[in-house]
Amino acid sequence: MPDLKKYNSKRNFKNTPEPIGKKKRKKSKQLKFVIQHHIARKDHYDLRLEWKGVYVSFAIPKGLSFDTKDKRLAIHVEDHPLSYGSFEGIIPKGEYGGGTVMLFDFGYWSLTEDENVDFEKGPIKFILKGKRLKGTWSLIHMDKNNWLIIKEKDEFVNKINIKDFNTSIKTGRTMDEISDIKNITLTSGEKIIFKKEKISKQEIFEYYKLISKRMMPFLENRLISTVRSPNGIEKFYMKHLNNQSKDLGKKKIKNKHEQSTNYYYFKNENGLLSEVQMNSYEYHIWGSKVTNLKKPDILVFDLDPDEGLSIKKVREGVKDLKKVLDNLNLKSYLKTSGGKGYHIYVPLQMSSFKECEKIAKDITEVLILNYPDKYTTNIRKENRKNKIFIDYFRNKFGATSVCPYSLRLKKKAPISCPISWKELDKIKPDSITIKNIKERLKKKDPWANFFDNL
């Protein structure tokens, strides 16, 4: 009978990020499999086949072969929980299996015929339907925990050498990139940052790790300001960071009074993760890159509705503005703010912030000319009654807007999340949160081609 006692007894869950072993009770319609490339004391591939609520697991030193002449050793190891199927990362040195784990492949598997398979005796003939690996193999028992895994004849024979794949099927990272990330030691991961929602620092760190591939194109090499909140209660708006990471760059900027101060930017995702470790959870970006600091490439409109204005009116505002942009042949992208409004980004290479501000102002004025009772650029609250404030001031030199995919330090832990124009009527400005965003990530990235338009 499969069970997870051995799995749990081998691991100290205080020290390892691996999931605690719990058996799944409900029967699955389709059986899952996963292969993890694991560089520990020895380099090997772990093949895990779902069976009776757990993953029956084999460590295969040379990995699966597509050549029917190869007979490769497969060592039957302890059953793993199904939650292990999404694990990728670092098992700390000194812990059981200490090393790097990369998700190599996943999908479904099935037996070729007999349903009454015995994982103690074998033989087991099975078919994998993965993203990378497809076809039929057999597991033949030799002695003790030692089995042989052999490719069976089918149309996939000799099609693939698994050594040709050196990246994660889930995150696209190489082993080295995975190792780099986890070298950032997260401390106080258990600390709760969102009290009501019970969201810990660890959860926020994991979120940024997961989202970094999509977020970094907007975040890296742009000057930033962040919101730090070490305890989830107080907030500190940071422009001048005190984080000593090598993955963080600084740039001297002169203010009106000709005094210069240091501003910061991330060189890569490790910079971001090191800043999460410093308790920064919200990220705001400049409209230009440090490599071209005076020439912005993003035009931004922040639609901020008066309190009590209906969501219908807010959406109407977004559509009105899009129409103006469409008429100017400007391709625009929509994201939720995480608050009450939406943000529109336009990728556009401009020659100066003066030009950027002027374009934004002209567009906003066209909108107000057409609908004087619906929109305003007047910042005073009493002049914004029943109107939407179009904040184009974010296009000035030194101004920032909240970065796509940034978490917001607001109720329910919302994300400022890119959405497609079709989703405008379905998604509220604060309804995508750190709790539900994962579902969305399985779908196509609505902003995938953003910088192609430049």
Q: Which residues in this chain contact Mn ion in the complex, by CB under 5 A?
A: 38, 46
- Residue that the structure tokens 């995702």 belong to: 269
One-letter amino acid of 82: L
> Min. distance of Cβ 315 from Mn ion in angstroms?
50
Task: List the structure tokens of 185.
Answer: 């030691």
Give the angle 392-419-331 at the CA atoms, nearest 5°: 55
Give the angle 441-169-452 at the CA atoms, nearest 5°: 60
Q: Which spans in 168-280 are helix H?
A: 175-183, 201-219, 269-277
- Strand runs labelled E in 377-441: 388-391, 401-402, 418-419
CA–CA separation, 375 vs 323, rounded Å?
15
Q: Which is nearer to Mn ion, 63 or 418 (CB)?
A: 63
Q: Which is nearer to Mn ion, 43 or 118 (CB)?
A: 43
Q: Which is nearer to Mn ion, 18 or 46 (CB)?
A: 46
Q: Which is nearer to Mn ion, 100 or 277 (CB)?
A: 100
Q: Which is nearer to Mn ion, 46 or 357 (CB)?
A: 46
Burial class (CB in 10 A: 0-12, 13-18, 19+), 444: exposed
Residues contacting residue 189 through CB under 8 Å, at least 6 positions apart: 200, 201, 202, 205
Q: Which is nearer to Mn ion, 38 or 182 (CB)?
A: 38
> Min. distance of Cβ 7 from Mn ion in angstroms?
12
- State the sign of the Cα–Cα–Cα–Cα dihedral 107, 112, 113, 118: negative
> Min. distance of Cβ 107 from Mn ion in angstroms?
19
Q: Which is nearer to Mn ion, 46 or 391 (CB)?
A: 46
Q: Give yes or no for a contact between 109 and 55, defined as CB atoms under 8 angstroms apart.
A: no
> Min. distance of Cβ 38 from Mn ion in angstroms?
4
One-letter amino acid of 36: Q
Q: Which is nearer to Mn ion, 94 or 308 (CB)?
A: 94
Q: Which is nearer to Mn ion, 46 or 275 (CB)?
A: 46
> Min. distance of Cβ 265 from Mn ion in angstroms?
38
Q: Give yes or no for a contact between 11 and 95, defined as CB atoms under 8 angstroms apart.
A: yes
Task: List the structure tokens of 40.
Answer: 């520990």
> Min. distance of Cβ 195 from Mn ion in angstroms?
38
> Min. distance of Cβ 21 from Mn ion in angstroms?
15
- Residue number, nearest CB to Mn ion: 38
CA–CA separation, 345 vs 301, rounded Å?
7
> Min. distance of Cβ 46 from Mn ion in angstroms?
4
- State the sign of the Cα–Cα–Cα–Cα dihedral 432, 435, 441, 447: positive
- Report the length, in residues, of the chain: 454
- First-to-last alpha carbon distance for the chain, in angstroms, is 59
Residues contacting residue 172 through CB under 8 Å, at least 6 positions apart: 213
> Min. distance of Cβ 145 from Mn ion in angstroms?
13
